[in-house]
Amino acid sequence: MQSFDFILFGATGDLAMRKIFPSLYQAYADGFLPHIGKVIATGRSLLNVDEFKDKMSHKSKIHIKNCDDKKWEEFTHNIDYLSINLNETKDFELLKEKINSESKNIVIYFSVSPEFFIKACKNLASVGLNDERVKIILEKPLGMDLKSCQAINNEIAQYYNEKQIYRIDHYLGKESIQNLLILRRFNPIFTSLWKKDYIDYVEISVFETLGVESRGEFYDSTGALRDMIQNHILQILSLVAMKIPDTLDADSIRSAKLQLLRNLKPLDDENIKTNVIRAQYSQSGEFKAYLNEDNIKENSQTETFVAIKVELLDENWKNVPFYIRTGKRMANSFAQIVIYFKDQQYQDIHPNKLIIRLQPENQISLNLKVKKIGKTMDYEENNLILNLNSTLVMQPYERLILDVIEGNQASFNHKEELEAAWAWIDPILENWKNNKTPLYSYFAGSWGPKESFDLIQKDQREWYNA
């Protein structure tokens, strides 16, 4: 791998300390960054280099399993720190001076609020840090709706072309998601069955036992629909349902995802009334109600749970519903995709299921009917399990940062993908803004509102609660 310089905006923030620096260190310790150049950490805090490194040792090192002190010292030796105001052009002149003028590979990571993206890009361009050597990584969410997303994309496009922009979604770096494309492309047993003739329905669930914690102010202006459905779940859905291209290169994968997202059946008020459930957690036992969490507006209508029945206009998926749901303060924490196959003969037997677990473990299992042991011909359910948990499995941020350094955009969002997702989400946001559908309630620590079970059970189907 060629040498590179890495610039991180927001280096003193939570994401940088918990994920980005540990991932960079791990890539270095694993030998994937043999020619590391400078790592220039920037933030608003007035710190010198030694003070910043001390902060890293306390806040970042604790998130690294089996951290080698010698490797850590080698890694941090390459780190510099610069206090910077993203709105001040003169600060970017100082930043440029710290970069090796001979560097041919410069990665700039925006671990800051999207409100700073446009100004920072303009200031970077003003000092020449937007030429072909430069790649930028943007954390989502980009915008709060289609209009604001387009505004950000259009402004940034004045300074960087699409080949230089990496919109990161850490879910796309998970081992199980990376395996999904290989599973579908190179296994005839699944390739031949991955269509409406053999699949009854698909479920995608992302649950957290945590509430909003310290993110109350951010979350109350965002909600579960923007934070999880638009951000992550629609990307997962597109990888599950898209037509697998002949080659798994970046352009082919992104084109296939875009085509699928544009084939989501549009939602109007009537569809939203019957196919979309929003809810907010209420007090239960030791758990506070959402409205009693810190930094939540009085009588807030922000949803902490969403369930949607999604239909596709793609002929390959005609009459195959996709049920998606996400929630905070749930009974269990997990992220999973469940593919329910049709039973062609025996309608009274639960069908086979392919269960793809994204977290807490990386695991793919095929639920089979097998004979019970003993003198019987009765059957029972058992799982054929592919365990992807290994010391060799990369954490998502490590994998994705390495992809950026190497110039591989396959696991990143194209601007048109995000805009297609927002175009589908916008009618729901407008419906809720005008209170055309109810905001339901569910007990904190439960499996969600009764209405989410009604949504799927009215179709004679059920959620898979692990």
Mind telling me the catalytic residues? 232
| Backbone angles phi and psi of 253, in degrees to 5 | -65, -45
Instruction: Please name every residue paired with 85 in a beta bridge, in sequence order, or none if there are none.
Output: none
Tokens, residue 297: 């507006």
Please tell me the distance from the alpha carbon of residue 364 to that of residue 354, in angstroms, as a whole number: 7
Residue tagged 């905006």 (tokens): 9
SS3 49: helix
Sheet of 379-387, strand order? 379-387, 363-371, 353-359, 334-341, 199-207, 322-327, 305-310, 276-282, 440-443
Q: Is 24 exposed, middle or buried (0-12, 13-18, 19+ CB in 10 A)?
A: buried
Residue type, 196: K
CA atoms within 13 A on the CB side of 28: 28
Q: Where are the beta strands (DSSP E) in 191-297?
A: 199-207, 276-282
SS3 462: coil
Q: Roughly how many angstroms between the first and final C-alpha of the chain, as a whole number? A: 41
Q: Which stretches of 99-249 are DSSP H helices?
A: 117-126, 146-156, 175-186, 188-191, 216-220, 223-224, 234-241
Question: Could you tell me which residues come within 8 angstroms of residue 66 by beta carbon, excluding any fewer than 6 positions away?
Answer: none
Question: Could you tell me which residues come within 8 angstroms of residue 317 by beta carbon, excluding any fewer than 6 positions away?
Answer: 195, 196, 241
Residue tagged 């004679």 (tokens): 460
Please tell me the distance from the alpha carbon of residue 214 to that of residue 217, in angstroms, as a whole number: 8
| Torsion from C-alpha of 19, 25, 26, 31, nearest 10 degrees | 150
Q: What is the DSSP letter of 141?
A: P
Please tell me the distance from the alpha carbon of residue 382 to that of residue 371, in angstroms, as a whole number: 10
